[in-house]
Structure 1
Amino acid sequence: MINTQSYRGELLILLSTMLAGIGWIASKLVILEVPGETFVTARFLLASIILIPFCFKQVFALRFKQVLSLCTVGLVLAASIEVWVYAISISNTLSVGAFIMSLAMIIAPFISWLLYKISPPRIFWLTLPVTCIGIMLLTLTDGWIIETSQWFFLLSSVLLSLHFVLNKQVLNSVKPLTSICVQLFMIGSVGLIVMLIMSPESVHLNSHILFWFAVSTFVATCIRYLSQTLGQFSVKIEKASLIMLLEPIWILILSVSLLGEVVEAQKLIGGGIIILSLFIYIKLQHKPPVAQTVVATQKP
């Protein structure tokens, strides 16, 4: 007999990966004409305002310690988002960046080991060399030269992994949607501070920019995180993580079809190896890793 609730949850998570892929494309198209700090500020502040009606009682009921924890974790996520937006703004290969960002699932157990002395499972050490081979094939296409954007994608992935680990602790006492709303507000607030410091030039808006901004904010942020949150309530962590591996695949398809990106065979093989290593890691580990329990903060 089919578990209808689980099946619906899987479809919601699948939808969230597709919306995340659309978010990458929308973000790239917006920041081609709008400063990254302005985009981050407007997108995430507006997203938090849209979500607050669904959890305002829980937000105002938070204790000071919980608010402090959420703000701290939100700052880490904000740093990851700021670096990610900059990487997108200077990158010509979104698909490569997406595969690099997917490494957060592999990096997170290592960070957990450093911070909390939680030893990664044996399969982590077995898949790590395979992942490194994938990275080499993905990035080293012109000799031993790595593009600047790829370094920033890697830094963003490391920061996202740190967020995964810290957010794991926060979610033990705060509901996911409440955590999402507060952290999105923190991202927008940090973006506002950066924007004021940088003093960007005035932005000339047009229908093209507004359309993709709306897609990025409503579709790729609000609806995406809500569908992911609802889906993970009824789907096992391992299965949810496997479905979410599809995100860089969608980004690859969209970047090739909409942005005209050309992906060499070597990069495709490298990306495939990374996805394979993540698949093996999820399927064969004995304990669910920290990175698989996060609801709200994968890549934008």
Structure 2
Amino acid sequence: MPLSNARKSDLLLVVVTLMAAISWIFSKEAVLLMPPLLFMAMRFLLAGSVLAFIARRPLRRLSADQFRRSVGVGLVFGIAMSFWVMGLFHATHVGEGAFLTSLGVVVVPVLARFIFREEQPVSTWFAIPVAVSGLALLSLKNGFRPE
């Protein structure tokens, strides 16, 4: 029995989620063995080389403006990833880093609203207090002790 497109997409989402979780653990271990920024440089160099080889024809068709914009996006992404890996390096628990990185899901739409004037769904505005509450709990000095 062939899988429907909905089943395939659900399965792929689960696979990608598992791969992301494994990469968190791998990244945490890797930054213990080498300097974090060296790890990022090697990761980007390897991924960029593979991607450039696979997509060499479309890359040649980019205009100068498209190339410049692509480099700009790559720099912003590289800086963000460098902050992520430095946080991973200094964190004691991988879950904290995962939570902080996932805050981007809430922060990016808010920035898009204020910078680009993009409308955001109501769910974004409900998610902000939940995310900020989680961030507040992480930043408590002695942890959360309700007693």
- Measured against the shorter chain, the TM-score band is 0.7 to 0.9
Q: Distance in 2 between matches of 1:15 and 1:132?
A: 29
* Structure 1 position 128 matched with structure 2 position 128: yes
Instruction: Assess, with a 3 A threshold, how the Cα gap between structure 1 residues 78 and 130 changes in structure 2: closer, same or farther.
Output: same
Matches within 5 A, 1:1-300: 4-140=4-140, 142=142
Cα RMSD (Å): 2.1
Shift of 1:3: 5.9
AA at the equivalent of 2:56? F
SS at match of 2:80: helix
Identity of aligned residues (%): 29
Instruction: Assess, with a 3 A threshold, how the Cα gap between structure 1 residues 69 and 88 changes in structure 2: closer, same or farther.
Output: same
* Structure 1 gap ranges (5+): 144-265, 267-300
1:187 matched residue in structure 2 = none
Aligned length, in residue pairs: 144
Shift of 1:96: 1.2
TM (norm. structure 1) is 0.44
Q: Distance in 2 between matches of 1:33 and 1:13?
A: 30
Q: Distance in 1 between matches of 2:107 and 2:87?
A: 19
Instruction: Assess, with a 3 A threshold, how the Cα gap between structure 1 residues 122 and 6 changes in structure 2: closer, same or farther.
Output: closer
AA at the equivalent of 1:88? L
Q: Distance in 2 between matches of 1:61 and 1:84?
A: 32
Question: Relative contact order (alpha carbons < 8 A, sep ≥ 6): 1 or 2 greater?
Answer: 1
Q: Distance in 2 between matches of 1:25 and 1:19?
A: 10
Instruction: Assess, with a 3 A threshold, how the Cα gap between structure 1 residues 119 and 54 changes in structure 2: closer, same or farther.
Output: same
Q: Distance in 1 between matches of 2:5 and 2:119?
A: 34
Q: Deviations over 1:187-237 (max 9, x none)?
A: xxxxxxxxxxxxxxxxxxxxxxxxxxxxxxxxxxxxxxxxxxxxxxxxxxx
* Structure 2 gap ranges (5+): none
TM (norm. structure 2) is 0.85
SS at match of 1:32: helix
Instruction: Assess, with a 3 A threshold, how the Cα gap between structure 1 residues 124 and 37 changes in structure 2: closer, same or farther.
Output: closer
With 129-138 and 88-97 compared, the bigger mean Cα shift is at: 129-138
Q: Distance in 2 between matches of 1:51 and 1:35?
A: 24
